[in-house]
Amino acid sequence: MPADTDAREGGYDVFQRSQGDGPDRRPHRTALVAGGVVLGALICLVLAAGPPRPLTAGEGPVPTGQEIFRFDTFGDEQLWTDKLGMHQVIESSLDPQSALALGLKIDVDALPAELIAAIQLGLVDLTDPATTVELIRLNAVVGVVGTVEQVEGRSRLTKVGITCALCHSTVDDSFAPSFGRRLDGWPNLHLDPGKIIAASPAIPDGARDVYRSWGPGKYDPRFNIDGLSTPLVIPPAYGLAGVKKETYTGEGPISYWNSYVAVTQMGGHGSFRDRRLQINIVQAPDLVTPKLPDLRDYQLTLEAPPPPAGTVDPTAAARGKIVFNKQGTCARCHIPPHYTDVNLGRLHAPAQTGMDKAYALRTTTKKYRTTPLRALWQHPPYFHDGSAATLLDVVEHYDEHLKLGLTDQQKQDLVEFLKSL
Ligand code: HEC
Ligand code: HEC
């Protein structure tokens, strides 16, 4: 019995209201640049650049799917601020260097030109948490949305929440490592969500050790439900158009999973019910459900990025395609064009492909979905638990488990074909 995922009729008035409470747009001084008379002028320049980009770039009040994906916290400040106190953690200790070390990314399009120039001149203090607060005020930290207010003459981060983009977007590093233009749908495999959550003083010691154990690029979306820990590789959110069921275990369509994550993981203020998991969360107003259709439609526009020019040998890939279809027997499950058989209603017992069963057993299906192969070049490691570091490891795994007897040449060719998908 599928959970309630149909969007109910509902306006966007709540979103508008939360925008009204949004980031403080009044210019104010921050510790962006080290003090000094000469630099004072620079600060003025930066501030004169005007208010940060509004959350909603479009004309109308209704946020687009892209805006929901990038900027909507669904009211999850109730978790990240009220319960976890992350606004205080950020203010007191998260300088930009530490933020980048945790895998957070900076959207250069959100930075005023003067600030970019100041960063280039080395005038911005990247060891001061106040700089992080300023970056959040500018809406430049991908997947992090905060409210900065003047309290007793100081800029204070009074609220913070997260968005889908935290885990499912990265940047192209065009300005500097971790500074660049947004790449929506690309998994942020540098991000260490467990370590971020573990920084909250509200997390009990036992749980903190578990959160710290996950490592970059991984997250366990059930730990807070069943207390077990088998972290998953953060998957891409692109290349899913035409794929009928989402997640490693084929839990349901995109909106089912989006609703699950927004309410039970991000802590959004919405309702989610699934009898199979014995979860019944009802929160009014529901800031999640009415947005699910637009959020889904946006994800369906995200295409898998092709491999960079010159990185695939077409002749070897053509030979590899034959291995994929014939001796490798890959195509009996990875059926083109999406390279999955989930559209035929098939899922696979863990033993069938030699996978660890621990995660599957915690889910509603107990099986793994044949992962739709998309932009494999972009997102190592592979398999739900990241047990294959490279595509050659994937091929070696299948060669052994399915007793394929591939030659070294065939393995190399198959890898070349996989890189081309
Ligand atoms: C804390 C990190 C995190 C956040 C935030 C997050 N996700 Fe995910 N997402 C994951 C992980 C981990 C999985 C893998 C879950 C699984 O397959 O069981 C996943 C799976 C998915 C999938 C399935 C991909 C596939 O191959 O089937 C989609 C789509 C998705 N997320 C979209 C979203 C959207 C939309 C949001 C915001 C509502 C969101 N995610 C928020 C970590 C995150
Ligand atoms: C019996 C069905 C089946 C066959 C045959 C099969 N696969 Fe898979 N494949 C799966 C399943 C199920 C998964 C998901 C496993 C997991 O994530 O733990 C998967 C995952 C993968 C992944 C990981 C994708 C990612 O994004 O993490 C790759 C790559 C892959 N398979 C390639 C191949 C190749 C190459 C072959 C042939 C040598 C092959 N598969 C044969 C079912 C199959």
Residues 319 and 241 grouped into a single domain:
no
In a domain, 253, yes or no: yes
Residue 234 CB–ligand 1 contact under 6 Å: yes
In a domain, 8, yes or no: no
Residue 196 CB–ligand 1 contact under 6 Å: no
Residue from 64, 74, 167 to probe ligand 1 pocket by mutation (most atoms less than 8 Å from CB): 167
Domain at 404, CATH number: 1.10.760.10
Say how many Å lie between the CA of residue 165 and the centre of ligand 1: 10
Residues 277 and 398 grouped into a single domain:
no
Q: Which of 293, 290, 234 is nearest to 265 (CA)?
A: 234
Residues 260 and 123 grouped into a single domain:
yes
Residue nearest to atom 15 of ligand 1 (CA): 247
- Cβ–Cβ < 8 Å for 351, 367: no
Atom of ligand 2 nearest to the CA of 391: 29
- Residue 13 has a pLDDT of 22
Residues 232 and 356 grouped into a single domain:
no
CB atoms within 10 A of CB 304: 21
Residue from 330, 339, 352, 367 to probe ligand 2 pocket by mutation (most atoms less than 8 Å from CB): 330
In a domain, 307, yes or no: no
Q: Which of 123, 379, 103, 349 is nearest to 233 (CA)?
A: 379
- Cβ–Cβ < 8 Å for 55, 73: no
Q: How far is Cα 257 from Cα 245, in angstroms, rounded to an integer? A: 9
Last residue of a domain, one of 278, 301, 324: 301
Residue 17 CB–ligand 2 contact under 6 Å: no
Q: Which H or E element spans position 169?
A: strand 169-171
Q: How far is Cα 222 from Cα 343, in angstroms, rounded to an integer? A: 25
| CA neighbours closer than 13 Å in the CB half-sphere of residue 317 | 12
Residues 237 and 362 grouped into a single domain:
no
In a domain, 2, yes or no: no
Which ligand is nearest the CA of 65, by number?
A: 1
pLDDT in tens, 180-200: 999 999 999 999 999 999 999
Coil, helix or strand for 331? helix
Residue 260 CB–ligand 2 contact under 6 Å: no
**Residue type at position 370:** T
299 burial class (0-12, 13-18, 19+ CB within 10 angstroms)? buried
- Residue 63 has a pLDDT of 83
Q: How far is Cα 247 from Cα 338, in angstroms, rounded to an integer? A: 14
Which ligand is nearest the CA of 387, by number?
A: 2
- Residue 60 has a pLDDT of 55
Residues 258 and 347 grouped into a single domain:
no
Residue from 333, 382, 400, 419 to probe ligand 2 pocket by mutation (most atoms less than 8 Å from CB): 333
Say how many Å lie between the CA of residue 398 and the centre of ligand 2: 8
Residues 223 and 336 grouped into a single domain:
no
Residues 33 and 163 grouped into a single domain:
yes
Q: How far is Cα 303 from Cα 238, in angstroms, rounded to an integer? A: 5
Say how many Å lie between the CA of residue 405 and the centre of ligand 1: 36
Last residue of a domain, one of 269, 301, 333: 301
Residue nearest to atom 34 of ligand 2 (CA): 330
Residues 272 and 415 grouped into a single domain:
no
Last residue of a domain, one of 270, 301, 332: 301
Q: Which two tokens stand for residue 40?
A: 């004072």
Provide the residue-wise pLDDT of the chain in tens; the chain has 421 residues: 344 443 332 222 222 223 333 333 333 333 343 333 233 333 333 443 444 444 444 455 678 999 999 999 999 999 999 999 999 999 999 999 999 999 999 999 999 999 999 999 999 999 999 999 999 999 999 999 999 999 998 899 999 999 999 999 999 999 999 999 999 999 999 999 999 999 999 999 999 999 999 999 999 999 999 999 999 999 999 999 999 999 999 999 999 999 999 999 999 999 999 999 999 999 999 999 999 999 999 999 999 999 999 999 999 999 999 999 999 999 999 999 999 999 999 999 999 999 999 999 999 999 999 999 999 999 999 999 999 999 999 999 999 999 999 999 999 999 999 999 9
In a domain, 202, yes or no: yes
Domain around 390: 314-420
In a domain, 17, yes or no: yes
In a domain, 7, yes or no: no
- Residue 62 has a pLDDT of 75
CB atoms within 10 A of CB 329: 14
Number of structural domains found in the chain = 2
In a domain, 137, yes or no: yes
Q: Which of 229, 231, 256, 235 is nearest to 244 (CA)?
A: 256
Residues 237 and 325 grouped into a single domain:
no
